[in-house]
Amino acid sequence: MSFYKFSCVWADALPEELSSVREDHKVLMPSSYKFEQSHYKSDAQFIRNVLRKENIVMKSTGEQYRSWCYVVDCVSALLYILLKGETQQAYNIADASSNISIRELAELIAQLGGEKVITILPEDMEKKSFNVVTKSVFSTKKLEALGWQLKGCMKDKMLATIKEAGNL
């Protein structure tokens, strides 16, 4: 099992374990980019598009601004919190250099996959199901104060994610 696949499993399981077993640490995780066939979030949909050699079709302007974090970095941070975190404290996990809009995410994935982003504005009925939160960015100062550091850039990590997804 690759470290990437291992991280995907842990990223799904650890937050639940942390909240049920380790009541002394609270962790807030951002949108982590990883790929699973059944994953329904925008990053997985965009990756599926480029793997199929299809353009990415967005059903919104993609203005929502989010904290993102590579799944391997999320697992690294979770383990770091378990080992070095203070009890009764909450920690945010994110990669400040990966705070981007959904549109920017789509454009990055399209560029890496050699495709384009096409916007088709949704019908009013579709808009009702959209997330109304326009900005969701986490501060990682407390986590960084523990000594946790990131290496690499979002572009390289997203490319690794796409390559790994192509090997599934």
* Cross-strand partners of 25: 89
Tell me which DSSP letter residue 130 carries.
S
CA 101 to chain centre: 12
53-111 confidence digits (pLDDT tens)? 999 999 888 999 998 888 889 888 888 888 898 888 888 889 999 999 999 999 999 99
Q: Is the pLDDT of residue 117 over 90?
A: yes
Burial code (b: 16+ CB inside 10 Å, e: under 16) for 24-53 equals: ebbbebbbbbbbeeebeebbbebbbbbeee
Handedness of CA 106, 108, 112, 114 (dihedral sign): positive
Q: Contact 167/1 with Cβ under 8 angstroms?
A: no
Which residues, in sequence order, are CB contacts of 82 under 8 Å at separation 6+?
A: 18, 22, 25
Q: Is the pLDDT of residue 8 over 70?
A: no
Q: Contact 100/68 with Cβ under 8 angstroms?
A: yes
More confident residue, 148 or 128: 148
